[in-house]
């Protein structure tokens, strides 16, 4: 078993780290305040090939896998979680299902645009009454001749306000029970009848776009069906396995930023005539943060390797997300405590990290859902 990154992945990591340090870290607080990511960042991500990191080379991408994506996402999120989640959703929730389940024509049409960032992707699953219980979604799709007509409202759509292409999950068989009658569709965001609804004002990751997407008689060609009719829920769950690896990577990046900030502050801040890092109470916090982060990273990389091998990774992805998200929040809490009152102000990045970390236990399946996935995989084995 090799715990070291390959030479290629080390180069990719270093490239992402240099970009994050030089371009994202100086902008992170600004992104948080203004509520959007600077457009030039999107251009730079395209120039570095990070929009198309997992897109096959024949379609203009880098042709790398989930492990490479995990490594890159840790670096981006270490600097700016808003940028990190934008890239994660684009690659793992839109790009991945298109690669895995799309027709050759769909791939030829969309993957080159996704690879350059000309088109940004989003994922429309959650609804006002269908969150953790995604199978209860009410959005409908009906066939009229050679077109599908979609009606419904999706919420919490990351990238909703900036996306050019969405995967929309809709009920295509009203007679089927729950998950069995759901299909997935590729929906260009400029389709008549597709509107961007409310833009959410969030506690953290404020620079990322999170919106409603409202579909009212939105007509798309029948060949925009992704995969098989009435098999969309399977696509959604497979996609979320990859998405959970992405959010686990985000959580590790945020947690690592908390650890780095804690070490720096513990060295610089003096009380009682010496650096607070000399006190065992602070030392133990830093030791626990570092240990839990290493464990979370290893679980995340394992899940990515399993997914890259073509195997089912629901258990591994759930374990990675559970461990990483709880660790990120543990690290954020300990980091703020080490900083004391100063950490509760925006003089330091700690308060932003604290806010950004919280979402990692909620989206791509809440912590409680990860525990259900893990326990069921063991109890029904």
CATH number of 7-120: 1.10.540.10
pLDDT, one tens digit per residue, over 92-116 is 999 999 999 999 999 999 999 999 9
Using alpha carbons only, give the angle 164, 165, 166 rounded to the nearest 5 degrees: 135
Question: Is 147 noted as a catalytic residue in this protein?
Answer: no
Short-list 284, 369, 282, 281, CA closest to 325: 369
Taking residues 49-53, report their average pLDDT.
97
Fold match between domain 7-120 and domain 122-232: no
Q: Is the pTM of this model over 0.95?
A: yes
- Tokens for 15, please give them: 């490239």
Give me 68's structure tokens.
């490479």
CB neighbour class for 255 (10 Å; exposed up to 12, middle 13-18, buried from 19): buried
- The residues, ordered by sequence, that sit 6+ positions from 34 with a Cβ below 8 Å of its Cβ are 207
Comparing 117-121, 143-147, 294-298, 347-351, the range with the smallest average pLDDT is 143-147
Residues 309-357 have pLDDT tens digits of 998 999 999 999 999 999 999 999 999 999 999 999 999 999 999 999 9
Within 10 Å of residue 206's Cβ, how many Cβ atoms? Answer: 20
Residue carrying structure tokens 């996402």: 73
For the chain, the residue count is 381
CATH topology of domain 122-232: Butyryl-CoA Dehydrogenase, subunit A; domain 2 (2.40.110)
Fold entry, domain 240-379: Butyryl-CoA Dehydrogenase, subunit A; domain 3 (1.20.140)
Domain ranges of the chain: 7-120, 122-232, 240-379
Catalytic residue among 127, 349, 361, 364: 364
- Looking at the chain, the whole-number percentage of residues with pLDDT higher than 70 is 100
Query: Does residue 167 sit in helix, strand or coil?
Result: strand
| 355-374 pLDDT per residue, tens | 999 999 999 999 999 999 99
What DSSP string describes 186-225?
A: EEETTSTTEEEEEEP--SS-TTS-EEEEEEEEEEEEGGGE
- pLDDT range class, residue 294, cuts 50, 70, 90: very high
Strands 210-221 and 194-199: antiparallel
How much is the pLDDT for 178? 85
């Amino acid at each position: 078993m090799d715990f070291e990154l390959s030479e290629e992945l080390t180069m990719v990591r270093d490239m992402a780290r240099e970009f994050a340090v030089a371009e994202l870290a100086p902008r992170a607080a600004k992104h948080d305040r203004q509520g959007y990511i600077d457009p030039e960042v999107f251009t730079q991500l395209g120039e570095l090939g990070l929009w198309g990191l997992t897109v096959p080379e024949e379609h203009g991408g880098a042709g790398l896998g989930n492990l490479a994506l995990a490594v890159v996402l840790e670096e981006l999120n270490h600097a700016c979680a808003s940028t990190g989640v934008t890239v994660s959703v684009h690659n793992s929730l839109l790009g991945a299902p298109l690669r895995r389940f799309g027709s050759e024509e769909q791939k030829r049409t969309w993957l080159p645009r996704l690879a350059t960032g000309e088109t940004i992707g989003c994922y429309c699953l959650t609804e006002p009454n269908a969150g953790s219980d995604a199978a209860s979604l009410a959005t409908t799709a009906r066939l009229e001749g050679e077109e599908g007509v979609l009606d419904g409202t999706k919420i919490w759509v990351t990238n909703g306000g900036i996306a050019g292409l969405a995967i929309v999950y809709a009920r295509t068989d009203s007679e089927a029970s729950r998950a069995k009658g759901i299909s997935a569709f590729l929906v260009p965001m400029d389709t008549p009848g597709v509107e961007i609804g409310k833009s959410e004002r969030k506690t953290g990751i404020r620079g990322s776009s999170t919106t409603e997407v409202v579909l009212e008689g939105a007509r798309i060609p029948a060949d925009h069906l992704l995969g098989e009719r009435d098999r969309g829920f399977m696509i959604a769950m497979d996609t979320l396995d990859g998405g959970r690896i992405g959010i686990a990577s985000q959580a590790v990046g945020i947690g690592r930023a908390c650890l780095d900030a804690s070490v720096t502050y513990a060295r610089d801040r003096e009380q009682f005539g010496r650096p607070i890092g000399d006190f065992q109470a602070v030392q133990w916090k830093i030791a626990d943060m570092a240990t839990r982060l290493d464990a979370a990273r290893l679980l995340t990389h394992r899940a990515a390797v399993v997914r890259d091998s073509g195997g089912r990774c629901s258990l591994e992805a759930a374990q990675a997300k559970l461990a990483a998200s709880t660790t990120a929040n543990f690290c954020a809490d300990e980091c703020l405590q080490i900083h004391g009152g100063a950490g509760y102000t925006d003089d330091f990045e700690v308060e932003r990290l604290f806010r950004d970390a919280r979402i990692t236990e909620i989206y791509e399946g809440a912590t409680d859902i990860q525990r259900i996935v893990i326990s069921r995989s063991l109890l029904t084995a």
